[in-house]
Amino acid sequence: MTLDTERRILQLIIAAMAVFSLSAAGVSIARGPDWLGYLGSVPTDLDSHFRYLSGLQLGIAIGFLSCIPKIEARGHRFRTLGFIMMAGGLARFIALWQGEPPSQGHLVALGIELVLVPLLLGWQRFLASRWRGMRMPLS
């Protein structure tokens, strides 16, 4: 596989992850936590906080999308966004550890945050180092 093909595959995976996050964030902002299927009312402050965190998720997803065109050169931004997602995943893991398992969708998100994102961070770093080596002029 060529380095450019590998770069394209990484870009596609990041795009898929970002679109997944954008769609979840968009629905969460528009509908609040009600779309998760809970019976009864959600306290106003919890609804507000849920939508605020969904806005952060939207911003993070847009940030990931901005890395795609030059993923080999966007390591700092990509790692910053990745570490933010991993911090959220750790918080989600603490909730899982202290209570009952959440819905399947939240478990998928946990897997993305604590497994896929670290793998993508490592892959981007490895790709970037090889990309720089290929693009350097010979002396």
The pLDDT profile of the chain, 139 residues, written as one tens digit per residue, is 899 999 999 999 999 999 999 999 999 999 999 888 877 788 999 999 999 999 999 999 999 999 999 999 999 999 999 999 999 999 999 999 999 888 898 899 999 999 999 999 999 999 999 998 876 554 4
Within a domain: 139: no
In a domain, 66, yes or no: yes
Nearest of 120, 43, 113, 105 to residue 75 by alpha carbon: 120
Enter the pTM of the model.
Answer: 0.90
Give me the number of domains the chain comprises.
Answer: 1
Alpha helices in 68-116 (DSSP H): 75-98, 104-111
Is residue 7, in this structure, part of any structural domain at all? yes
Q: Which two tokens stand for residue 17?
A: 């992850």
Q: Is residue 138 part of a domain?
A: no
Long-range contacts of 101-104, Cβ-Cβ distance < 8 Å, separation of 24 or more: 103/36
Residue 59 domain boundaries? 3-133
Tell me whether residue 55 is in a domain.
yes
User: How many Cβ atoms from other residues are within 10 Å of residue 28's Cβ?
Assistant: 20
Alpha-carbon distance 55 to 25, whole Å? Answer: 7
55: its two tokens: 């806005």
